[in-house]
Structure 1
Amino acid sequence: MRLALAQINARLGDIPFIFSRIQQQVEIALRKGVKALAIPTPLMTGLAPGGLIQSPNYMHDLLTALTVLAEDLEETELACFIPAIIPVSGNALLEIFLVRDGHVVPLRLLVLMGHRGPGLPQLTPPVVDIDGVRVALTLDPHQDLASLPSGTDLALYFDTTPFTVAESKARGIAGIKESGLATLAQDQGLWLACMMGVGGFDEHIFCGGSFVLDDGGKVIAASPCFEEDLLICDISRDATIPALSSDLIPVYDRHEWIWNALRLQMQDALNAEGMSRVALHITGDLPSALLAVLATDAFGPRGVIGVLIESDDTLTPWERAREDARVAQVRSIASMLHITLVERSISGPGSADSDEVRPPTALRRLKSGIEGLCLMDVACSYRALPLSSLTKTDYALASGPMVTAEVAPLAPFGDVFLTELEFLARMRNRASAVLPSELVSLEEVRRVMKRMLARSIEGTYEDEENRDRINRLLMPLEPSQIDGIIREHVEHNCTLEDITYAEYGAIAMLLVLVRYGEGPRRQLPMVPVVSARSFAERAWPVQLGWSDLGRMGAELMKIDEVANREAARVGEIFEGRAEEMRREVFSLIGGFLGLRPDQIAELESDMAQELMKHDLEGLENHLKNLGNIGGQIRPDVPGGSSEIMGGSAFFSLN
């Protein structure tokens, strides 16, 4: 059988366009003699469709398109496997539709219909016959392959894991060693084909890299990562097919993959908006300059509009010189990237305010708002999508006045820490030195981090004395310490005692700032997820009044320990009540028999209980002997009846 894996990218849920792309793949597959064609998982509904699948008309349009495709395939021998999430009894089920011979078959739903009982069970993989090859459809090969019926030839695996740096199985062919799938295919003696998605779907990114393994665990064919591809491979259990050369298997590099994943997500986000350009505010620091490079890689120089906002509210020669140097830096970056640079000037935030004297915090907030409006104005003029250069560190310290003034709908670096931007910049500069060396340095990271901390502290505490005290705690920390603390707290859910990047008080204060940023974070741009845990996944209540200040040396209390302790206490209570009831029964018996209190106490003792038990056993045996006068009952006769040996049957049975 000839199998094709269509690693295609399209806008999420754009049913007419998606099925036009499927039709194109079908035409190619028919010319190549393909018998089975697989489509990636996230195209139809994504991984988190929410209320979309509850829309009857959306499901109607999807089923209509599937029916039209089935009619087109009626006169062919091609079978299409198309996954989509569907509603089932108030739950969401990831279905795999089999489209062939003019029919649309919901395979997993048919398996579910044979289930009796509440909820969705653990479904067994459907198995279908395609051109003499038995194909099992799985969403979890590690769980399903061992239970497949005998005679299964191929396991077709539809991957549903979006890319993050923590998920090796989301890397497709580049993560084949870490995934254990090669060993699994070899142990089970099955061919294994993995259908990977490619593209950005809201905050989720799929990196492609579909592949086929033979029953010996060798890589027979593979698609490239971060690209569309139609992978065609012959599945034959009798033939020996040479393995793919190791030189053709991509190698995972953390920073290169983060860069390519963000580039891919930006491209799809722009296509979803129907635009061809992006606009971004270049301030001359590392985050904004690196974002300009990323945007240029994604859209080319003509697709990027840089915005330089010059301020003339400087008061001292030193401030004027610093501003001139910043402006020259921005112009140099734009020239190096060959992008359009639009320059705007603001004469000071006070010009847009009343005559009332405003504190510095309010003026900076007003200035940030004016800069945001300038960016939006340029974006509207060029019909471009605004981008924000906020990092994950900005999101962690989001209580500052400048952060909440962001107006862009997308922050590509919003799930990447500031300290990691330095390594991304070094990686990108190795390809071509597009960033000035002074920006790709630890000193630049320190400067940007101090600005972030000052902004967050200023936006959280109005009291000058408190701000000074917190500055003395946090400002001496290195950027790696600050990002390390936030990473452990957010991505690994570590408590204050588990974090060892700095002294106790500094860690506690930083966690307080992160908690204060919970509300402002909800107003910030959407973030493509690339880390082990994003702030969206880690969200806490906005009105929360608790911060992690540590246990002050107390032993950590756990809910299972409390439950076990209470279970033991309740057991002791019942045991005590049973003992009380036993004493009452003995007192009642003693009253009937006329026993004295000391005799009743003796009767209740453990020794007396053992003696009574022994006497009762002896009495029971004695009564059995009395019932067998002149004979013997043998209860071990086959058939379960008793055999009477001599004597009267009446007396021996009664």
Structure 2
Amino acid sequence: MPSDATHGARDRTLRVALCQCNLPVGDLDGNVNRIRVLIGRAVEQGADLTLFPELSVTGYPPEDLLLNPRFADAAAAGVRELARTVTDTVVIVGLPALREDLHNAAAVLADHAIVATYRKHFLPNYAVFDEQRYFASGDDALVIDLAGVRVGVTICEDLWYPGGPGQWAAIDGGAELIVNLSGSPYHRGKGLERERMLAQRAADYCCFIAFCNAVGGQDELVFDGHSLVIDPTGEVVARGAQFEEDLLVVDVDMVGASRRRLHDPRWRQSLDARHGRVRSVSVSRASRPRLTLAPRSASVSLLEPDAEVYRALTLGTADYFRKNGFQHAVLGLSGGIDSALALTVAADALGADAVTAVSMPSRYTADMNREDASTLAATLGVELMELPIGDLATAYDGALAGPFAGTEPNVAEVNLHARIRGNLLIALSNKFGWLVLTTGNKSEMSVGYATLYGDMAGGFAILKDVLKTWVYRLARWRNRDTEVIPIRIIDKPPTAELREHQLDTDSLPPYDTLDAILEAYVEDDRSPEDIEQLGVDSALVGRVVTMVDRAEYKRRQAPPGVRISTRAFGRDRRLPITNRYRSR
């Protein structure tokens, strides 16, 4: 990549392309090809530096695929193949790199070669992350001298701490731009949290930060994109789209970093903290005239909270289907709020033609609920199949009459209806290759208000991490422009309709109260005593906590679902099933 006089010796502007892309885990050949295409698009737009997300070659997170040596070898071979085609831009891609031990790494590609490799320093081992299971930590910083512009390389967690390789690159290595390859998953409010953190780092280091995040669904996780370029004052220069792929191309004028360092006395004081653990590599800039770049507005608004949660649910659902080869979804539609929202999300994510709803009325099903289910399906354009279960319930009752003789009816009889419905949905799945979507919410799963092998039977749980109060909130948000979900569904009292005149409040406290307890206990890990200080009755807190603790065996058998909270069941909140400890 020969030097170009057209840039001029004093040209301190670097054109950076952030390739915010959706790369499936394990699709090594497909990901390398996709990266190659995006590099071509970046070169067409005159990018001097082209960035990809963390572990972009393998997809993130690869989990125990990393324990297979052939997997890392194949990823490295893919990067070597990719490097041979790189010209006219400097490319940084993520991969697992083996050097004595396995590292979460970033490879710098230029002039048909891998010119340097950076190894992630801070390895997250909390919440949904377990990188210390797989990777060793790097011990230095990397700075690229790109025709006189110094660029520090970091990976995701490296910038979530005030010190470390980002600081080393800026202070010891003189980096004016810190790039960050990231696989940062979504939860409610995460985007704003990231912006604030990165703004603080940019201001502290007196440099620009280019944050390139992954986008897409991966099992329970959703990556929201929302890549960023932030200037040395902490202001957002450019913001990538949320929940969709984007190629963000930004001209970064390094004079801003130099000016900030002259004016900020903290910079001079920070020079005393230098430790010298910085590697440096020099690369040249492509020879071409500077293109005129259309201005990218930083004022692109962040989605409102309800909208971003809904987008996370649709993206997570769509990618679970697409990446696993499913073409069609089926779910039970009762006429209640949970199945109504689940169906609406599925139709929005997959398209109405790819979803079948099944109404399975029993003698306990109100006419109003059948009407509401029919209205919703018609509004969405979804096929509605009706399979009454009355005769099947009678047959089950007859088959069990002998063993149940002389006993009082209890949950065994009540749950038969849920299990019959589950059997019918699974039969349709087996027959037609459809994936069954369950419709239960996080409030129900928390306290075990769900039937194993009944309404829990399925392959993906859209609302698994959505509290009941958020179910109502999202339904109202979806209706903001036009009524999609019949208002009667939103307004009527929730019921499982497994027995005569049943309401959820027969077994559970009001959902506003229940969800407040669950947020405190499940998501915030607060003790029952702390929760009582919120003004909640002590006996009620104890009852809910006991229900949560006893339902772990059910949750362990639930299908995966989209994570939207800071503490989700499954990858996130992991407790033993056999457990004698009680919180009170």
TM-score by length of 2: 0.79
- The amino acid across from 2:111 in the alignment is D
Tell me which residue corresponds to 1:491: 523
1:190: Cα distance to partner? 1.3
> What is the CA deviation profile of residues 392-440 of structure 1, one whole-angstrom value per residue up to 9, with x for unaligned ones?
1121122653576522111111111111111111111103210111222
- Once residues 97 and 419 of structure 2 are traced to their aligned partners in structure 1, the CA distance between those partners, rounded to angstroms, is 43
- The amino acid across from 2:140 in the alignment is T
Give the conservation status (yes or no) of the 8 Å contact 2:374–2:384: yes
With over 3 angstroms needed to count, the CA separation of the structure-2 counterparts of 1:512 and 1:182, relative to structure 1, is closer
Tell me which residue corresponds to 2:281: none
Tell me which residue corresponds to 1:546: 581
1:215-294 map, 5 Å: 215-238=232-255, 245=297, 248-294=299-345
1:390: Cα distance to partner? 1.1
**What SS does structure 1 have at the residue aligned with 2:460?**
coil
* Corresponding position: 1:101 with 2:101: no
Tell me which residue corresponds to 2:445: 395
- The amino acid across from 2:206 in the alignment is G
> What is the CA deviation profile of residues 264-307 of structure 1, one whole-angstrom value per residue up to 9, with x for unaligned ones?
01111001221222111111100000111111111221121111
1:494-533 map, 5 Å: 494-500=526-532, 501-533=535-567
Give the conservation status (yes or no) of the 8 Å contact 1:53–1:87: no
1:519: Cα distance to partner? 0.8
* Counterpart pick for 2:480 among 418, 430, 455: 430
> What is the CA deviation profile of residues 97-118 of structure 1, one whole-angstrom value per residue up to 9, with x for unaligned ones?
1223333356234999xxxxxx
- Once residues 582 and 372 of structure 2 are traced to their aligned partners in structure 1, the CA distance between those partners, rounded to angstroms, is 41
Identity, % of aligned positions: 24
> What is the CA deviation profile of residues 7-26 of structure 1, one whole-angstrom value per residue up to 9, with x for unaligned ones?
11132221111111111112
Tell me which residue corresponds to 2:142: 126
- The amino acid across from 2:402 in the alignment is E
Tell me which residue corresponds to 2:221: 204
Tell me which residue corresponds to 2:275: none
With over 3 angstroms needed to count, the CA separation of the structure-2 counterparts of 1:182 and 1:449, relative to structure 1, is farther
With over 3 angstroms needed to count, the CA separation of the structure-2 counterparts of 1:197 and 1:10, relative to structure 1, is same
Give the conservation status (yes or no) of the 8 Å contact 1:404–1:523: no
* Corresponding position: 1:374 with 2:399: no
Give the conservation status (yes or no) of the 8 Å contact 1:197–1:207: yes
* Counterpart pick for 1:444 among 493, 501, 507: 493
Report which structure shows greater RCO (CA 8 Å, sep ≥6): 2
**What SS does structure 2 have at the residue aligned with 1:138?**
strand
- Once residues 269 and 389 of structure 1 are traced to their aligned partners in structure 2, the CA distance between those partners, rounded to angstroms, is 16
- The amino acid across from 1:143 in the alignment is G
**What SS does structure 1 have at the residue aligned with 2:479?**
helix
* Counterpart pick for 1:356 among 389, 402, 406: 402
**What SS does structure 2 have at the residue aligned with 1:439?**
helix
- Once residues 223 and 517 of structure 1 are traced to their aligned partners in structure 2, the CA distance between those partners, rounded to angstroms, is 41
- The amino acid across from 1:151 in the alignment is G
* Corresponding position: 1:167 with 2:190: yes
With over 3 angstroms needed to count, the CA separation of the structure-2 counterparts of 1:87 and 1:533, relative to structure 1, is farther
1:573-612 map, 5 Å: none
- The amino acid across from 2:51 in the alignment is A
Tell me which residue corresponds to 1:136: 152
> What is the CA deviation profile of residues 198-218 of structure 1, one whole-angstrom value per residue up to 9, with x for unaligned ones?
111121111111122233444
**What SS does structure 2 have at the residue aligned with 1:506?**
helix
1:535: Cα distance to partner? 2.1
1:488: Cα distance to partner? 0.9
Tell me which residue corresponds to 1:32: 45
- Once residues 450 and 532 of structure 1 are traced to their aligned partners in structure 2, the CA distance between those partners, rounded to angstroms, is 33
- Once residues 43 and 387 of structure 1 are traced to their aligned partners in structure 2, the CA distance between those partners, rounded to angstroms, is 29
1:269-348 map, 5 Å: 269-311=320-362, 314=363, 319=364, 322-346=365-389, 347-348=391-392
> What is the CA deviation profile of residues 609-653 of structure 1, one whole-angstrom value per residue up to 9, with x for unaligned ones?
xxxxxxxxxxxxxxxxxxxxxxxxxxxxxxxxxxxxxxxxxxxxx
Greater Rg over alpha carbons, structure? 1
1:402-413 map, 5 Å: 406-413=456-463
- Once residues 403 and 414 of structure 1 are traced to their aligned partners in structure 2, the CA distance between those partners, rounded to angstroms, is 16
**What SS does structure 2 have at the residue aligned with 1:6?**
strand
Which structure shows the bigger proportion of residues in helix conformation? 1
- Once residues 401 and 183 of structure 1 are traced to their aligned partners in structure 2, the CA distance between those partners, rounded to angstroms, is 47
Which stretch has the larger CA shift, 296-305 or 283-292? Answer: 296-305
1:538: Cα distance to partner? 2.1
1:367: Cα distance to partner? 2.5
- Once residues 87 and 484 of structure 1 are traced to their aligned partners in structure 2, the CA distance between those partners, rounded to angstroms, is 46
- Once residues 532 and 183 of structure 1 are traced to their aligned partners in structure 2, the CA distance between those partners, rounded to angstroms, is 22
**What SS does structure 2 have at the residue aligned with 1:235?**
strand
* Counterpart pick for 2:83 among 60, 70, 94: 70
Give the conservation status (yes or no) of the 8 Å contact 1:361–1:401: no
1:150: Cα distance to partner? 4.7
- Once residues 438 and 485 of structure 1 are traced to their aligned partners in structure 2, the CA distance between those partners, rounded to angstroms, is 27
- Once residues 504 and 396 of structure 1 are traced to their aligned partners in structure 2, the CA distance between those partners, rounded to angstroms, is 19
1:310: Cα distance to partner? 2.5
1:539: Cα distance to partner? 2.3
Give the conservation status (yes or no) of the 8 Å contact 2:419–2:451: no
1:370: Cα distance to partner? 2.0
**What SS does structure 1 have at the residue aligned with 2:93?**
strand
1:131: Cα distance to partner? 3.5
Give the conservation status (yes or no) of the 8 Å contact 2:217–2:315: yes
1:360: Cα distance to partner? 4.2
**What SS does structure 2 have at the residue aligned with 1:13?**
coil
With over 3 angstroms needed to count, the CA separation of the structure-2 counterparts of 1:21 and 1:5, relative to structure 1, is same
- Once residues 503 and 411 of structure 2 are traced to their aligned partners in structure 1, the CA distance between those partners, rounded to angstroms, is 9
> What is the CA deviation profile of residues 43-89 of structure 1, one whole-angstrom value per residue up to 9, with x for unaligned ones?
4445543321111121122111111111122xx23222111345666
Give the conservation status (yes or no) of the 8 Å contact 1:438–1:444: no
- The amino acid across from 2:73 in the alignment is H
- Once residues 486 and 573 of structure 2 are traced to their aligned partners in structure 1, the CA distance between those partners, rounded to angstroms, is 35
- The amino acid across from 1:491 in the alignment is E
**What SS does structure 1 have at the residue aligned with 2:526?**
coil
Give the conservation status (yes or no) of the 8 Å contact 2:119–2:138: no
> What is the CA deviation profile of residues 211-230 of structure 1, one whole-angstrom value per residue up to 9, with x for unaligned ones?
22233444333221111111
**What SS does structure 2 have at the residue aligned with 1:529?**
coil
RMSD: 3.0
Give the conservation status (yes or no) of the 8 Å contact 2:94–2:104: yes
Give the conservation status (yes or no) of the 8 Å contact 1:456–1:513: no
**What SS does structure 1 have at the residue aligned with 2:483?**
coil
With over 3 angstroms needed to count, the CA separation of the structure-2 counterparts of 1:183 and 1:367, relative to structure 1, is closer
**What SS does structure 1 have at the residue aligned with 2:73?**
helix
1:242: Cα distance to partner? 11
With over 3 angstroms needed to count, the CA separation of the structure-2 counterparts of 1:162 and 1:57, relative to structure 1, is same
* Corresponding position: 1:15 with 2:28: yes
- Once residues 444 and 10 of structure 1 are traced to their aligned partners in structure 2, the CA distance between those partners, rounded to angstroms, is 42
**What SS does structure 2 have at the residue aligned with 1:107?**
strand
**What SS does structure 2 have at the residue aligned with 1:231?**
strand
- Once residues 412 and 379 of structure 1 are traced to their aligned partners in structure 2, the CA distance between those partners, rounded to angstroms, is 17
* Counterpart pick for 1:189 among 206, 222, 240: 206
Give the conservation status (yes or no) of the 8 Å contact 1:404–1:520: no
Number of aligned residue pairs: give it.
505
* Counterpart pick for 1:59 among 72, 76, 80: 72
